[in-house]
Structure 1
Amino acid sequence: MADQNKLPIAQPINHIIHSVPIKLEIETSQYNSWAELFKIHCRAHDLIEHLTSETPTQSAASSKATPISDELWKRQDAIVLQWIYATISQDLLHTILEKDMTAKKTWDRLRSIFHDNEGSRAVALEQRFTNIKLENFPNVSAYCQAVKMLADQMNNVGLNVTDKRMVL
């Protein structure tokens, strides 16, 4: 019988940046894209529950061959925390870092930072999008990339930017 306190080899990978290539920053408003990639990574390593629960739930324990020990849960939670910290900016890290945080508390705190400010972010992004000018960029490609990035950020805060509007 395998030791339930041993972590499977795939779980403590150090290369999360390959799975979550977006560095979450306050300025870029890429939270929804970052969060989706992060959840996919956690699901792939069977650690998604750490984003929704402080402790192993009964349903998760019953779906596994043997219930997970508190020690293993804490070790897995620390891995998920390391993944979060590795994929966010230093400014965000300093904003959310506290003693004895769990992955769920950290996840919830990040979500609130980005979703609680959606209204003000939407207004600021709308203004930037409306006032973007080709003359401020070295070439058309850089301009188009900036317009696309702003449109993606606006979509992330609930402002639907159609292709027609981007062209106009």
Structure 2
Amino acid sequence: MLHAIAYKVVDHIDETEKPTENSEGFDEWKEIDALFLQWIYSTLSKQYLDRVLELKTTAREIWVKLENIFLNNKSARAGNLNQQFSNLTLWSCSPLPDYLQKLKEIASQLTDVGQPVDELRLVIQPVQGLPPEYAVAGALIHQLAPSWDDACTMLHHEEMCIKNQNAVGNSLAVLAATAEPS
């Protein structure tokens, strides 16, 4: 839709009636529609292209078919995405930046199927899937309910502290193991 708006061709996919073949500007409209249709086809995976590819069609007709394909299973998709969002853990998609990105992507997909994730849930959910080492940042996030960006920053800082503590602990263990008894 962003491309359609940017290139001023929304009338090719919304409910605007196409011009008749005899009307002035039909040839130009037909050419633009063909270009837009090519763009739609070029963005589809083979699976979806095979389902919608037709001769003598318009961008609007294909757009409606795609809407039907993607929105007909909206409730089932929303349920599946909600389950993924609620059950995702750091261990299942480590490292931390990937985990946070995956949560953000699922939240975006939930919005696409009419189940938007509010900011508070988006901020609190990552804490649920973290191991106990992140308890300090988790408690702060629960208490402060910061923005998504601030919560991500807090978790990244916590991750650095955990890595530093582990490095110090490993160094002390190596020193203790190599030290000669007196």
**TM class by shorter-chain length?**
0.5 to 0.7
Q: Which amino acid aligns with 2:39?
A: W
Q: Which among 26, 39, 58 is matched to residue 4 of structure 2?
A: 39
CA distance in 2, matches of 1:40, 1:111: 17
Larger Rg: 2
1:48 alignment partner AA: V
Higher RCO (CA 8 Å, separation ≥ 6 residues): 1
2:31 counterpart letter in structure 1: R
Residue 174 of structure 2 is matched in structure 1 by none
**Aligned residues with identical type, % of pairs:** 36
CA deviation after TM superposition for structure 1 residue 54, in Å: 5.7
Q: In structure 2, what residue type is equivalent to 1:141?
A: P
- Alpha-carbon distance between aligned partners in 1 of 2:27 and 2:119, rounded to the nearest angstrom: 50
Q: Give unpaired runs (5+ residues) of structure 1.
A: 1-35, 62-66
Cα distance in 1 for partners of 2:32, 2:4 equals 15
Q: Distance in 1 between matches of 2:3 and 2:12?
A: 12
Change (3 A) 1:123 1:135: same
Structure (1/2) with the larger helix percentage = 2
Q: Give the C-alpha shift of residue 162 in structure 1.
A: 1.5
In structure 2, the residue matched to 1:48 is 10
Contact 1:49-1:56 within 8 A present in 2 as well:
no
Matches of residues 80-95 of structure 1 in structure 2 within 5 Å? 80-95=36-51
**Aligned equivalents of 1:98 and 1:54: distance in 2?**
20
State how 1:71-110 maps to structure 2 within 5 Å.
71-110=27-66
Higher mean displacement: 131-140 or 48-57: 48-57
The count of residues paired between Structure 1 and Structure 2 equals 121
TM-score by length of 1: 0.65
SS in 1 for 2:7: helix
Q: Within the alignment, does 1:152 sit opposite 2:108 as a pair? A: yes
**Residue 111 of structure 1 aligns to which amino acid in structure 2?**
E
* 8 A Cα contact 1:54 1:104, kept in partner: no
What's the offset of the Cα at 1:71? 2.9
Residue 95 of structure 2, aligned match among 135, 139, 148: 139
CA distance in 2, matches of 1:71, 1:167: 51
* 1:137 Cα deviation after fit: 1.9
Change (3 A) 1:42 1:106: farther
Contiguous gaps of at least 5 residues in structure 2: 125-182
**TM-score, with structure 2 as normaliser:** 0.60
